Amino acid sequence: MTDVRDLALMIRSRTPLIVVETHDEKRVLELVAGIAMRQGLSCHEWTAVRGLERGGLARGALPAAPKSLDPEALLTEILRGDSHAIYVLCDFHPYLRDEPKTVRLIREIALDYERLHCTLLFISHRLELPPELSRLGARFELALPDSETLMAIVREQAAVWSQAHPGERVRTDRDTLERLISNLRGVNEADARRLIRHAIFTDGAITESDLPAINRLKFELIGADGILALEYDTPTLDAVAGLGRVKRWLDKRRRALAGEGDEQDRPKGILLLGVQGGGKSLAARCIAGELGLPLLRLDFGALYNKFIGETERNLRESLKQAESMAPCVLWMDEIEKGIDVRGSDNSTSKRVLGTLLTWLAENRAQVFVTATANDIQALPPELLRKGRLDEIFFVDLPGPEARRQILEIHLRKRDCDPASFDLDLLVEHCEGFTGAEIEQAVVSARYAAASRNAAVDTQALCRALDGTVPLSVTMAEPMARLRAWASERTVPAD
């Protein structure tokens, strides 16, 4: 009803040009047909294939209007007319590029509204009015279906499946159904119907296993142009050693992150700052897996474009696509590399930072940001203040208990029984190591043992650890400065 009211008001307010960017063309045509009937207006539809035809509810019931496949002939015909009408022009965007006569005809029609009383409504997947027409037009956005509408579509498709399978009903449970509805937020009705049909018609059930496929198909529908990537391997936080404070912080906000409770104070995100190889990227993946949400990774390398203004537009579109995927986790890995304003890049980084900060402050979608960073010097103070992100956690070198957990995780992953190793000795040998360095020592020990046709044992692991120079030694001074900075400005992650 909101769509009908808003579009009807726009037409009634005598707006000569209306642009609707959508892939759901059928939905717009239905809206216009109903509005035209209620306002006593004629309705006509034009496509490059069928030309100009009678549209709306009278389609096929009355003789078609004179056909005109040529856009200029069409507009000339409209300009010569004298009737109250709505002309719906589908996929008209190619005819607005470098076509001065076509643009001028549209302008003449818009300026002569007092005589013609007709509205040109453009429907396309993407359409920008030329500058000379922009002040004469307005944009209309279709409202996305709410939870009630999505549930109605689920019932509709379940009924269709049951008709095709007499005596059977679609199987599901309340929790899975609610998660499906939540994951479908951000797509139009036509796309939602296709995704629901995919879930139901595969096996006559909506189960937990359908959700990853739905998220993948939804991500393909929004088209992220390589800047956003959907991460599929998202284990839970049990796969991360340590980070006790991060886990407790998330646990307290689990219900809010799931969309329950007050939306006003919904968590925005966290920044994981720390040493390289400390497990920040793994933690970002695991946060999404723990919350049961799709994980989107923002690639700052693909974001930047040589043309002025394109980089900021890429970021805005990527953030809008993330909102369409909500609820989700948005992972900004090594964020300092994308917003370092110290370099000389024609102020692009400053504009990117400004766009990102504005979005972080104003975003109301259920998008939880997990940012990671290694270089504190490159992080602007505007990002670190409260209100942009909820908390800054410092991921330090793992302590004894965390090192034990890391060893156990990577030994089990490689079919080695941790109980057969002297873990106390190994924990002592890997003091000062990051999680990544411990993992590589396990890998190195396995290769060394395989070359001798022997099994990996404690001594092999000790030799691999002793032969590794950890980052805490090679980068001792920068790491000391980072620890000193973080000691009074961040929350320890463990």
User: Can you list the domains of the chain with their CATH numbers?
Assistant: 2-140 (3.40.50.300), 147-208 (no CATH), 231-395 (3.40.50.300), 400-474 (1.10.8.60)
Per the listing, tokens 């027409």 go with 133
Q: What is 247-304 written as a DSSP string? A: HHHHHHTHHHHTT-S-STT---EEEEEE-TTSSHHHHHHHHHHHHT--EEEE-HHHH-
- CA within 13 Å, CB half, 300: 18
CA distance 82 to 38: 20
The string of DSSP codes covering 305-336 is -SSTTHHHHHHHHHHHHHHHT-SEEEEETTTH
Three-state SS sequence of 427-457: HHHCCCCCHHHHHHHHHHHHHHHHHCCCCCC
Query: pTM to 2 decimals?
Result: 0.70
**Is it the case that residue 298 has pLDDT exceeding 60?**
yes
The pair of structure tokens assigned to 265 is 């104070």
Strand partners, 332: 371
- pLDDT confidence of residue 281: 87
Length of the chain: 494
User: Would the pLDDT of 121 be above 90?
Assistant: yes
Cβ-Cβ contacts under 8 Å for 252 (sequence gap 6 or more): none
Give the C-alpha separation, 427 to 438, whole Å.
10
Q: How far apart are CA 265 and CA 267, in angstroms?
A: 6
14 DSSP assignment:
T
**Model pLDDT for residues 462-488, shown as the tens digit of each residue:** 989 888 888 888 888 888 888 888 888
Q: Are β-strands 295-298 and 228-231 bridged in parallel, bridged antiparallel, or unpaired?
A: antiparallel
Question: What amino acid is encoded at 50 in this protein?
Answer: R
Distance CA 42, CA 88 (A): 11
Tell me the average pLDDT across 167-190. 86
pLDDT number for residue 231:
80
| Section 373-384 average pLDDT | 81
Q: Taking the CB of residue 357, how many other CB atoms lie within 10 A of it?
A: 17
Q: Does the pLDDT of residue 388 top 80, yes or no?
A: yes
Closest CA to 279 of 194, 181, 190, 399: 399
pLDDT value of residue 19: 94
Query: HEC profile for 60-122?
Result: CCCCCCCCCCCHHHHHHHHHHCCCCEEEEEECCHHHHCCCHHHHHHHHHHHHCHHHHCEEEEE
